[in-house]
Amino acid sequence: MVKRTRRNLSDPRIKKIIQTQLGKIYHSSKHKLPPGRGNPFTNFLILALLLVVATSAILIYLNWSEIEKLWGAASRPSPATSKQPPVESRTSPSPPPEEKPPVREPVPEPVERGVQTEVLNGCGRSGIAKRATDFLRQNDIDVVSQGNYTNFNVAKSFVIDRSGERSRAQKVARLLGISSDQIQLQKDNTLQLDVTVVLGADYRSLKPFNR
């Protein structure tokens, strides 16, 4: 807010200025209004106008410092209209690419190993080992060898468990029609076998020979 300053009218310098202005108005009115000429109303209007002009001049002189301040404030640019530096647009950083979960390859189910079997002739009848071998292979049994037993005196056919996995011996015995009571455990890891089949004199009662 502009601080208003008023001049002291008791100042001799101020009084002198006012007296000078009033004197000028007086002499001007005497010069412009000679006695006995013109309309009295018009003369009064001219005198009043001159008085207003003189009063305005005195007021401007007395308040000149305030007028200068107001003029300077009006000429200065408003803070709102002053140039502002351009605002840089901020772009938000792009989100990181989503990580895809690793694709898990399906794990193949373990394939059951075939029952490795050997077929031996224990009664001396020709061709029975081959016939039993063909039958077992048709039923997905892995017959790795065939031949003769240590003797031909076997009366009843039986199955030998070579690996200790009785379920494998039972499978072969069931296919042939041999009772599970005729399964013997004789583990031998050196043979790389699961089952040994020994055909006896009762071979005719077995499934490969009943067809």
| Per-residue pLDDT reduced to its tens digit, 150-202 | 999 999 999 999 999 999 999 999 999 999 999 999 999 888 899 999 999 99
Going from N- to C-terminal start, the domains of the chain cover: 12-75, 116-209
> What is this structure's pTM?
0.49
pLDDT digits (tens, 9 = 90+) for 23-82: 665 565 555 545 545 567 777 777 777 777 777 777 776 666 676 666 666 666 555 555
| pLDDT value of position 183 | 96
- CA 155 vs. chain centroid, Å, equals 78
Which one-letter amino acid corresponds to residue 173? A
Compute how many other C-beta atoms are within 10 angstroms of the C-beta atom of residue 66.
14
Distance of CA 69 to the CA centre of its chain: 62
Say whether 147 sits in a helix, a strand or coil.
strand
CATH number of 116-209: 3.30.70.2390
Backbone angles phi, psi at 131, to 5 degrees: -65, -40
